[in-house]
Structure 1
Amino acid sequence: MKTIGFIDYFLEEWHAEKYPAWIEAASGGTMKVAYAYGKIDSPKGLTNAAWCEKKGIELLPTIDAVVEKSDYLIVLSPDNPEFHAELAELPLQSGKRTYIDKTFAPDRQTALQLFEAAEKHGTPMYSTSALRFATEYMEADRTGIETICSLGPGRLDNYSIHQIEPIISLMGTDVRRVMYTGTAHSPALLLAFGDGRQATVNQFGPEVPFSMVLNYASGQAKVVKPESNFFQLFIANLVKFFETGESNVDPRETVAIITVIEQGIKAMHTPHQWVDMPRA
């Protein structure tokens, strides 16, 4: 059996809670989350020690210990990407297959640095939103998409990735400008691509499920609702990555996604004005 180590900001969070059982099931019992490290205890819940005892996972005192004992590594901290550079430093030097949870990085510079570190040390690494693997998005016709209107819940800083990632996977990375068109309670972005195509990201309350309208140059439109179990599809992809060391998520897309989020947050301060995407 191959062992997996969790490295997290704090361990009592939704992804850390769900991933162990999902990974064990998806791998047919050939992989198991066996070790974990948390930088701090949960501010609102169980200590790391109590969480590990409940889950049957060995708590280790340092990131180095998790890296040393584990076959594969998962850097979590899904809602605190500002800690990913710190938490991923040793994993990315290890050469061991490493997954870094969404949101990959707090900004473009950090995203580039993480990929550079992984390449320097020969460490297979990737990151993604689970929504990328929704069957409905994966099977959508990408040819001739002119406009996307995307809907979903959550905040811009930590949940817009679940709309932006599918948009980039469907339309490519050539986003040139971003405009904030939302309100204080309903974030919204307009993405302008280099060839005139556009996409909108619209965030509402938790009652609004993810969906998209794809409009094609032919004039045809298609409503796409991700009703497949995209988390299980993502976990299957993660298991395959651990087995092969190969990811089917293009790093250029991941960097573009983080850049859109970063520039979108900047654009909040100047609504209805274009903010250019960095090209270097």
Structure 2
Amino acid sequence: MDTSYNRRRFLKTTALSGLGLSLAGQLPGLAAPAPGKRVGIIGLDTSHSTAFTKVLNAADASGELLGYKVVAAYPYGSRDIETSTKRIPGYIEEVKKLDVEIVNSIQDLLKKVDVVLLETNDGRLHLEQATEVLKAGKRVFIDKPIAASLSDTLKIFEASKKYKVPLFSASSLRYIKGVEGLDKSKVVGADTYSPAVLEKTHPDFFWYGVHGVETLFTVMGRGCQSVVRVHNEGTDIVVGTWADGRVGTFRGTRTGKHNYGGTVYTQDGNTTLGPYNGYQPLLLEIIKYFETGQVPVAPEETIEIFAFMEAADESKRRGGAAVTLASVLEKARKA
């Protein structure tokens, strides 16, 4: 999350749980990570970058992190989204205190690292940046949104296939409390909600609504065929119909308190989703992926999530008409 509330909550939680968020000046010199464990970051314009670095580079980092350390970072990152660009100078100073070298290009970065966290929240840059990493044969986690268009989303996964490097992308809301232990084979429907604040450079839900949509697909799984969107100034509701007849809804709020959660309806009763679990569960999955090359989220599911959001936008443009995911995917493949 990029909200100050969740950033403060994450820092507090990880400090209390012993993940070792070291204060500035407590790292007299970080031991060099073992071969294969050097992490590079692209994009110091999001709080995710500093949060992940503080956990990975802590003097008493958890053994679950397998010795991975951030050793270098390329700061850019958005150059024209003000809420992002203004963070870069401060975040550069934060990671430098954690023994992270600042480099001038992605090519310089790739010479110094084994794996990459593509963290800039400007999805317009992701296709070009991810392709550089994939060409170099390095595993890459792409933070949300994977791209700023459905067309670019497809092209990123095409590049992954071309260069034979599996990649992983997800929102941290995939690991919201309540998901663990859920028997997804018994899910008959779900309602989820999250903030859906807008950024003019990105399609509607791609910027922030992706969090709640990812939660919906985490519990419902793939197979959504069509969506209908109900729009007003403060809230948008998207109703998705799955191929097996199940219905899942996402409610995105523009104003008010930023909450994340939902309800899952199962054959055994209802399960409440929430509260937000912080970044740690996602980071552990990223490390497993770096170590094994096995992706925890299939490319097809990530593509369907972004097709769902694009279909929701199209439904809005059509005044709430039903729009199939197949139709927006066909259009994106031609773009």
TM-score (norm 1): 0.88
Distance 1:49 1:214, change over 3 A: closer
**What is the correspondence of 1:32-43 to structure 2 with a 5 Å cutoff?**
32-39=69-76, 43=85
Query: 8 Å contact 1:213–1:221 — kept in the other structure?
Result: no
Shift, 1:64, TM fit? 0.8
Deviation at 1:143, TM superposition (A): 2.6
- The offset of 1:54, in angstroms, is 4.6
Is 1:97 paired with 2:139? yes
Figure out how many residues of one structure are paired with residues of the other and give that number: 275
Q: How does 1:21-40 map to 2 (within 5 A)?
A: 21-24=54-57, 25-26=61-62, 27-28=64-65, 30-39=67-76
**2:116 alignment counterpart:** 73
Structure 2 residue 323 is the aligned partner of structure 1 residue 275: yes
* Range moving further from structure 2, 14-23 or 260-269: 260-269
SS where residue 187 of structure 1 aligns? strand
Matched residue, 1:215: 265
Q: Distance in 1 between matches of 2:256 and 2:73?
A: 31
Question: Which structure 1 segments of 5+ residues have no match?
Answer: none
Contact 1:212 1:224 in 2 (8 A): yes
1:164 to 206, 210, 213: 213
Secondary structure class of the residue paired with 2:86: coil
The structure whose RCO (Cα within 8 Å, separation 6+) is larger is 1
Contact 2:223 2:242 (8 Å CA) reproduced: yes
Partner of 2:224: 175
Letter in 2 for 1:232: Q
Distance 1:58 1:206 in 2: 39
Indicate how the Cα distance of structure 1 residues 175 and 256 shifts in structure 2: closer, same or farther if over 3 A, else same.
same
For residues 271 and 184 of structure 1, what CA distance do their matches in structure 2 show? Answer: 14
* Match of residue 277 from structure 2: 229
Structure 2 counterpart of 1:200: 249
| SS across alignment from 2:85 | coil
2:279 and 2:217 map into 1 onto residues whose CA distance is 19
CA deviation string 1:190-218 (max 9, x = no partner): 111122211111122452522222224x5
8 Å Cα contact 1:7-1:74 kept in structure 2: yes
Q: Pick from 298, 316, 330: which aligns with 1:250?
A: 298
SS at match of 1:139: coil
The 8 Å contact of residues 54 and 98 in structure 2, kept in 1 or not, is answered as: no
Contact 2:176 2:277 in 1 (8 A): yes
| Cα distance in structure 2, aligned partners of 1:17 and 1:206 | 27
1:154 aligns with 2:196: yes
* Structure 1 ranges of 4+ moved more than 4 A: 26-29, 48-52
Q: Which amino acid aligns with 1:67?
A: L
Residue 131 in structure 1 maps to residue 173 in structure 2: yes
| Amino acid paired to 2:293 | G
Give the CA deviation at 1:256.
Answer: 0.5
**Range 191-200 or range 143-152, more displaced:** 143-152
**Deviations along 1:14-34, whole A, 9 cap, x unmatched?**
111211122343455711111
* Greater shift in the superposed pair: 18-27 or 47-56: 47-56
CA contact (8 A) 1:136 1:228 kept: no
Asked if structure 2 preserves the Cα contact closer than 8 Å seen for 1:85 and 1:114, the reply is yes
| Residue in structure 1 matched with residue 41 of structure 2 by the alignment | 6
Question: TM-score, normalising length from structure 2?
Answer: 0.75
Q: Percent identity?
A: 23
In structure 1, the residue matched to 2:161 is: 119
Report the CA distance between 1:255 and its aligned residue: 0.7
Of residues 223, 239, 256, the one that matches 1:190 is: 239
